[in-house]
Amino acid sequence: MHGLDDDPTPNGVLTLQTLSMPSDTNPYGDIFGGWLMSQMDIGGAILAQDVARGRVTTVAVGSMVFLRPVPVGATVSVYAEEVEVGRSSIRIMIEVWIKDHRNGETAKVTEGEFVYVAIDDNGRTRPVNR
């Protein structure tokens, strides 16, 4: 997990931005963690596809940390940073930041490490084309 400092800023590049909606809530009215994780996977895949110059698939998720709940109506921003590229794999650190429009606060809400593998049109692993 990246360190939390007094004046935090996102690491990586903005790959996805969306709005949290009431249909994405858990029984307590906060955004469901699975929805947030799927946004992370999409944002990470966008960067992984750029790195691999083609199709990728998610093969692992690790070090997932949820720091605070996400309220309905927040702008959700996914930032992705390439950590390591192997022969066919790409390891990406993903952070999610929100802007809570109720109070104007911007905060990091989760981060995790995702691993993608470059695949060909038949779904078979292929080398990363750099």
The domain spans of the chain are 13-118
pTM to 2 decimals?
0.92
**Strand, helix or coil for residue 46:** helix
Instruction: Answer whether residue 7 shows pLDDT above 60.
Output: no
CATH number of the structural domain 13-118: 3.10.129.10
**pLDDT, tens only, 57-105:** 999 999 899 999 999 999 999 999 999 999 999 999 999 999 998 999 9
pLDDT tens for 105-121 read 999 999 999 999 999 99
From the number of C-beta atoms within 10 Å of its C-beta (0-12, 13-18, 19+), residue 70 rates as buried
